[in-house]
């Protein structure tokens, strides 16, 4: 995981939520990507903290999930 600050603002990104989350909210995350970083946030707290990881780290996580 990277602690480096990204110059991309969370509001400038296009966020995606899992299609498995349904319409009732649930416990979901949203992800957005820019050139080298994947941004992850709680879909119920969009103004809250954002975790940033490299694309490689995200691909490794998704590959294991």
User: H/E/C letters for each residue in 23-52?
Assistant: CCCCCCEEEEECCCEEEEEECCCCCCCCEE
Banded pLDDT at 5 (limits 50, 70, 90): very low
H/E stretch holding 17 reads: strand 16-17
pLDDT value at residue 60: 96
pLDDT digits (tens, 9 = 90+) for 14-53: 999 877 766 666 678 899 999 999 999 998 888 999 999 9
């Amino acid at each position: 995981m990277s602690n480096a600050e990204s110059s991309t603002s969370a509001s400038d990104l296009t966020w995606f939520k899992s299609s498995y989350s349904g319409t009732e909210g649930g416990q979901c995350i949203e992800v957005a990507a820019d050139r080298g970083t994947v941004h992850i946030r709680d879909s119920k707290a969009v103004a809250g903290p954002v975790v940033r990881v490299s694309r490689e780290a995200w691909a490794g996580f998704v590959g294991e999930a």
